[in-house]
Structure 1
Amino acid sequence: MQENASSHGPATKVLIVDDHPIIREGLSHLLLQEQLDVCCAAASAEEALAAMACGPDMAIVDLSLQSDSGLDLIKTLRQHHPNLAILVLSMHDETLFAERALRAGANGYLMKLEATEHIMSAIREVLAGNIYLSVEMHARLARALTVPRSIPAGSVASLSEREFEVLHLIGLGFSTREIAMKLNRSIKTIEAHQANIKEKLDISSGKELMRFAIQCLEQ
């Protein structure tokens, strides 16, 4: 771990990846107050990978980018930069996405609703080489190791990151058109994702898919 400015060494360099300018600016302001060097900010996976040239010690990544999956970006970053500390900062419910983010290569997961109060604690834990999750999520993962799931883990695990995101939005009640707008994709693309999900999960109808998606939310 790099020393920060408070220990009279070089400041820890942070890359922020979020497609909302207000989030990038607000987070940059907070980190600068904590004497962390925001070396780059990116709105897409392509920009983030290019920004790695600045040599960040840490990346703070949103999962929902305009044209990319944050989970896919995390996998790429972990593959090519194994020593990079990665913290996910997302609007998505951690009970659905935290475990998947950790499997992709993230070191911690923080929901944006909790960011103001916990962001610096999460950053310190991740930079120290630890895993950061909320107390509730730690307990949930511990229970998952001992309590059988009603949904076979392998079925959902077979989905791509984008398909998993679509399944999540279906469970939240969004229509195909609304999902297309949220993910900045065409309706035909979302319909193709839904067809792939049904095939992988052996689901025959849209109603059955909706029931399955809601059941996933309740796990």
Structure 2
Amino acid sequence: MFGSFVIVDDHPLYRSGISALVQERLGLRCSGEASTIAEARQLLAETNPKIAIIDISLQDENGLTLVEECKRLFPAVKVLVVSMHDENLYGERALKAGSHGYVMKHDAPEVLINAIRMILNGQLGITENLKDRLAQRFASGSNNNQVGSLSERELTILSLVGQGYGALEIASALSISVKTVNTHQDHIKQKLSLQSASELRKFAVTWYAGQTRV
């Protein structure tokens, strides 16, 4: 296989591991690494790779923003999102942003390699589980439109509420204040037409269970 790839991730050790794996297994050349969106923009413009492997959690930045920019500014570059976040929660969002595939960081190396092969062959590089979930949503006509209106931070908080976290625990986990958590929860309630904190908790638990059910 000929061509090059770039890696965008804020963990140098992880970048090195992925780079070595992809070069050894696929014969692609690593044309550069980046740890921030600004570095990634410059790298993509200078190297014009076949594929960009992007983590969507970049310190205080949202990697999905970079995915959207790639689609708009570098349409010839294929994008594979590699993330610690559950594909059932973020896979569809990544695809909507312009990614051609989604792999979780705890997946086996072969999953990553297969995803890259599929993407470079013009297919979506996603698991059978995510394919089935997307097919079910398409068939049922359900797109979770209300939840889709949430920002990334609001979606994260909804997920944590669904797992039973309280405001103090969420604040600690996200390194933000309880006041900020409460403000986000108010915004979530408005967007989802929920009237109270108890309604939010009930909705979040039900929604999270549905998203993570295999």
TM class by smaller structure? 0.7 to 0.9
Separation of aligned partners in 2, 1:66 and 1:198? 27
TM-score of the aligned structures, taking structure 1 as reference length: 0.83
Report matched runs for 1:6-25 at 5 Å: 12-25=3-16
**Which moves more between the two structures, 126-135 or 46-55?**
46-55
Separation of aligned partners in 2, 1:42 and 1:108? 19
The match for 2:41 is 49
The match for 2:187 is 196
The match for 2:176 is 186
- Aligned residue among 40, 50, 62 for 2:32: 40
- Aligned residue among 134, 138, 154 for 2:131: 138
SS at match of 1:79: helix
Structure 1 unmatched runs, 5+: 5-11
Contact 1:17 1:61 in 2 (8 A): yes
Separation of aligned partners in 2, 1:29 and 1:19? 17
Structure 2 unmatched runs, 5+: none
Contact 1:71 1:161 in 2 (8 A): no
Q: CA deviation at 1:108?
A: 0.6
Q: CA deviation at 1:189?
A: 4.4
Contact 1:58 1:84 in 2 (8 A): yes
Aligned length: 207
- Aligned residue among 128, 132, 153 for 1:162: 153
Q: CA deviation at 1:181?
A: 5.5
Contact 1:89 1:110 in 2 (8 A): yes
Separation of aligned partners in 2, 1:193 and 1:59? 32
Cα distance change of structure 1 residues 218 and 76 upon mapping to structure 2, 3 Å threshold: same
**Identity over aligned residues, as a percent?**
39
Contact 1:39 1:56 in 2 (8 A): yes
The match for 2:209 is 218
SS at match of 2:58: coil
